[in-house]
Amino acid sequence: MTEDVGRVDRERRRLVTLLAGAGAGAAVFGRALCALADGAAKVTAGMVKQAEWISGVSFTDAERDLMLSDLNETAEGLAALRAVALDNAVPPAVAFSAAAPPPADAVSVPVPPRRERPAVRPPSDEELAFAGVRELGRLLRARKVSSTELTKLALARLRRYDPLLACAVTVTEELALAQAKRADEELAAGKDRGALHGVPWGAKDLIAVPGYPTTWGSPLFREQVRPETATVYRRLEEAGAVLVAKTSVGELAWGDVWFGGTTKNPWKPEQGSSGSSAGSASATAAGLVPFAIGTETWGSIVSPCTRCGVTGLRPTFGRVSRHGVMALSWTMDKVGPIARSAEDCGLVLSAIAGKDPFDPVAMDGPAPWPARRGVSELRVGFVEELFEEDRSEGAESEEAKARAAEWREHDRRSLGVLRELGVRLVPVKLPSRTPVAPLGMILTAEAAAAFDTLVLDGRVKGMVRQTADAWPNVFRQGRLLPATDYLRAQRVRTLLMREMEECLRDVDLLVAPTFGGDALLLTNLTGHPCVVLPNGFRLSDGTPTSLTFTGRLFGENDLLAVADLFQRATDFHTRRPKLTESTAAKG
């Protein structure tokens, strides 16, 4: 990637470089601890000495000799643990919590509901394909369109444009038509399941759906059918939504490359859509689905939404159940909606949020939508130095520098829009006492543990990408991280979370450039929610830029209210890419 949307990958590469130095001594020691399982020689004092530098300590000869018996016993225990079969769905016996949820009544008096416009069917199928969730709901209830009609339109567009975009792993046509038929029958009988009833959607192919493959984007799991049903799928089914496709995911939730190729950006089909919620963002931007579900651990909703010019909501950690969704990092994974507007994201979140007995970190909180407070009541912090940051630093060409400068100008204009709307902007500073970038090792360690068997049995060599900035390299390095340092990183993370709470003490939410500083990794570590939305289009190639609003823990109400206000004053989220028959044929 050559622009700021790829910063998360650059940060991962920097972390990979730091960890790569662990190779010689720690690898020898790690192999020694596994040696007994293969009947090889036992751990020796020389092996311990080779491994000491990665731990940041050194021992005397006597101290090394003293620990050998226990180390060899540990090796036996490790061999026994590795013999236990562990499915990806089995979590560790510890749970991370961003914070206790606020009481359900800890919100202001609801604002009056917005006045609904009369339901008027768009004049063409093309315009209907880009209608939002709320608008589609009005049309369905007014009998101006049927769920079956919307579903057939989505299926037709998937057939037409997926050859270009590579955004769908599995089209669930049989299921979709059955769900649409049921929705039409229920709505005709007066049974209304809510805003999503009869609306088509796409599920990132990390989400387990009964009877269909859940491939995780990898050839290693191409035929996998999971035994569980994802809670997020079950809740959307209960809300009457119609699943039309399992959308593509960068292999094991990194990037936009999967076993079917590279998912493309509808605004610039020769460019990848970024990832890892690659297909969910691409399909939504191209009008193939009104909304989709994505996941984020470190930028996997924010990055593709930026690239594809759609709106994404990364909820508070624990707001949405991860049950039935591939685990990458038990303390960082989040599930959230991708749609055309903040309003639509709020409607989807209302259907999928809440406690789940199958996910110990899933919590209840106040209903996220509609907004509970008027925007005039809110204080919005803005991180001034990030709006002044020179984002062209490190750019590889004059063109890239110009693109970065243009994005910065869009961000500054966005602040002007907010001021004109009467939003109270308060200068704030992000946490600075606690180092952020090194905490990326938490993801490395947990992802390596989640897919440890791929390294142990050698299947990791069958993954699509085998570069320095890809999972096989990171998974191997994760085996070299000392457990004590992983736990130290988690303790430092606690300090970072406390600092973030201080930062938000006097404001209700923050606005900042999407890839400014360490904000993306920081807020993923602290569990805070964010909305990313388009805030402009580059003159050079017509591709979108984005702005990010970050809220308090369980503060999605306020977050969505400000994002919705911004979108009511701008039209960036209503623009759509021009995909023609000729460009589709090139796919």
Q: pLDDT category, 11, cuts 50, 70, 90?
A: low
Range in 44-58, 252-266, 342-356 the model is least confident about: 44-58
Active site residue 108: no
What pLDDT score does 556 carry? 94
Of 300, 321, 341, 350, which residue is the catalytic one?
Answer: 300
User: 335-375: per-residue pLDDT in tens?
Assistant: 999 999 999 999 999 999 999 999 999 998 777 677 767 78
pLDDT for the residue numbered 141: 95
Burial zone of 533 (CB within 10 Å; 0-12 exposed, 13-18 middle, 19+ buried): buried
Q: pLDDT at residue 41 above 80? A: no
Give residue 367's identity as a one-letter amino acid code: A
Given a cut of 60, whether residue 24 has pLDDT beyond it is no
pLDDT in the model for residue 377: 86
Give the active site residue among 204, 246, 264, 334. Answer: 204
> How far from chain centre, in Å, is Cα 132?
21
Residues 309-320: tens digit of each pLDDT:
999 999 999 999
> Residue 536: its pLDDT value, please?
98
Catalytic annotation present for 274: no
Q: What is the pLDDT of residue 94?
A: 82
Residue 9: pLDDT over 70: no
pLDDT value for 111: 40
Per DSSP, 112 falls in state P
CB atoms within 10 A of CB 149: 17
Structure tokens at 364: 């209840």
Pairwise pLDDT comparison (252 vs 388), residue with the higher score:
252
Q: Which CATH class is domain 125-359+373-435+489-586?
A: alpha beta
What is the structure's pLDDT at 1?
Answer: 41
Q: Identify the pLDDT of residue 371.
A: 72
Question: Can you give the pLDDT at residue 52?
Answer: 83
Return the pLDDT at 575.
98
Asked if residue 60 has pLDDT above 60, the reply is yes
Q: Quick one: pLDDT band at residue 71, thresholds 50, 70, 90?
A: confident
For 4-124, where are the alpha helices, taking DSSP H only? 7-20, 23-35, 45-55, 61-82
Listed range (36-40, 437-441, 460-464, 487-491) with the worst mean pLDDT: 36-40
Residue 586 scores a pLDDT above 50: no
Candidates 276, 282, 303, 341; catalytic one = 276
For residue 514, which of 536, 539, 532 has the smallest C-alpha distance?
Answer: 532
Q: From CA 125, how far away is CA 152, in angstroms rounded?
A: 11
Identify the residue with better confidence: 69 or 40. Answer: 69
Question: Cα(379)–Cα(472) distance, rounded to whole angstroms?
Answer: 44
How does the average pLDDT of the chain come out, rounded? 89
Both tokens assigned to 574: 């209503």
Is 276 annotated in the active site? yes
| Section 528-534 average pLDDT | 98
- pLDDT score recorded for residue 22: 43
Spell out the residues 6+ positions from residue 294 whose beta carbon is closer than 8 angstroms to its own.
204, 277, 280, 281, 300, 301, 304, 305, 312, 335, 336, 337, 338
Kindly tell me if the per-residue pLDDT of 146 is higher than 60. Answer: yes
Quote the pLDDT of residue 73: 82
Domains of the chain, by residue range, sit at 125-359+373-435+489-586
